[in-house]
Amino acid sequence: MIYLAQVQKKGFLGKTGLRLLACQKSGEIWALVSETDPIVTTEANAFGEGILVLADITTGGQIRTINEATEWAIKLVQQYLTKGLTPEFLQDQADEIEQWRQSLTLQSQELSRRALELEARRDQLQALEEKLKKEQHRLEILAQKLEVSAEDSSDKNEEIEEKIEVDKIEDL
């Protein structure tokens, strides 16, 4: 893993160590390193006290390579700081993105709620439609019964009228 470190020389014996400042997570993403004891190494003897270096260090603490970080720092300044990408600007952008994310989450929740309401209304409409179909079928059956009843009643009325006619003729 690549670390940004500062060279430190200690004591009369001139032991040289690296104070780790940040580590590269991926690509252009770096994370600050919590305060740790410096890594003592002879590879850092070639660099002066306080110099920033980029060190490739294994998970076991072995140093693969150490390079001065001057060019890297200049490139960083050219890429970001000259374009107004200050930490404050980046924080403002991160805050704005977080607000957008929260807004989109709320909108998504509202859309989900509305979708559920529409689904419930659709279910209600389907239930009402079924109820209306059943009612319509029941009314059609009643209409048919009334029609049959009316025909039967009409036939009975004719029979009654015929009987009355026959009774009148017999009375004469």
Residue 167 identity: D
Considering the domain boundaries, does residue 112 fall inside one?
A: no
Considering the domain boundaries, does residue 111 fall inside one?
A: no
Domain tally for the chain?
1
Considering the domain boundaries, does residue 170 fall inside one?
A: no
Range of the domain at 62: 2-83
Q: What does the alpha-carbon distance between residue 49 and residue 6 come to, in Å, rounded to a whole number?
A: 8
Considering the domain boundaries, does residue 78 fall inside one?
A: yes
SS3 33: coil
Question: What are the structure tokens assigned to 159, written together?
Answer: 């029979």
Confidence of residue 12 (pLDDT cuts 50, 70, 90): low
How far is C-alpha 102 from the geometric centre of its chain's CA atoms? 10
Question: What are the structure tokens assigned to 77, written together?
Answer: 């300044």
- Per-residue pLDDT for 67 more than 70? yes
Task: Give the pLDDT confidence of 43-58 residue by residue, as tens digits.
Answer: 888 888 889 999 998 8
Task: Give the pLDDT confidence of 106-154 residue by residue, as tens digits.
Answer: 999 999 999 999 999 999 999 999 999 999 999 999 988 888 877 777 7
Q: Is the pTM of this model over 0.85?
A: no
